[in-house]
Chains A and B, each alone.
Chain A
């Protein structure tokens, strides 16, 4: 069965420190993975998608099929990065794709 696991409920770092938000998945097919972010009082929105291999707001994530991981990284955290981050896996076809979300990790960046 498909599953997404984010082992940390809360990650607290100081401004300027590196950040790594962990995500592991279980999926029998070829996975398509995403990171969504929810800033305070804003809607949940897409941060990045593994296929695009983009860097958004300084964040990157690499799909590691051997370790079944899709960790989100940023070399230098900013206070405005404080938010709830969700890792998600799409299943079904992309255009009707249902998402399975991890439990979410709250990132707190302290000044």
Chain B
């Protein structure tokens, strides 16, 4: 089992460009999450999906959109990237209390 996979691993964008971060899990979990990790801020929840077909905002949703494509996949889209979105992005999934994390995507917006 691969667990939670994320693509790409690294990305550099110019301000105003758009991109989609992909996440997939093979553990048949219902819930999936997107976090961003910034120095001194810990991890902050951007969006989550409690089940296929549902999504909801977390702490810091502005500037992002998500799609729960099916039970396995949960994508995060930046429509118009800004330097403030430079961060490491983590996807996670869970069935009960334990969340399983992907390896992260390091995004730089110049």
Q: Shortest beta-carbon distance, A88 to chain B, in Å?
A: 8
The yes or no answer to B94 lying at the interface (CB within 8 A) is: yes
Interface centre among B31, B43, B51 (most CB of A within 10 A): B43
Q: Count residues of B near A (Cβ-Cβ below 8 Å).
A: 29
Residues of A within 8 A of B103 (CB): 43
The answer, among B50, B51, B95, B99, for a CB contact under 8 Å with A46, is B99
Q: A45-B101, A90-B97, A99-B99 are in contact. List 16 more A-B contacts (CB 8 A).
A: A9-B40, A32-B97, A43-B4, A44-B92, A44-B101, A46-B99, A49-B97, A94-B96, A95-B31, A96-B30, A96-B31, A96-B50, A97-B31, A98-B48, A99-B43, A99-B45
Residues on B facing A (Cβ under 8 Å)? 4, 30-31, 33, 35, 40-45, 48, 50-51, 58-59, 90, 92, 94-104
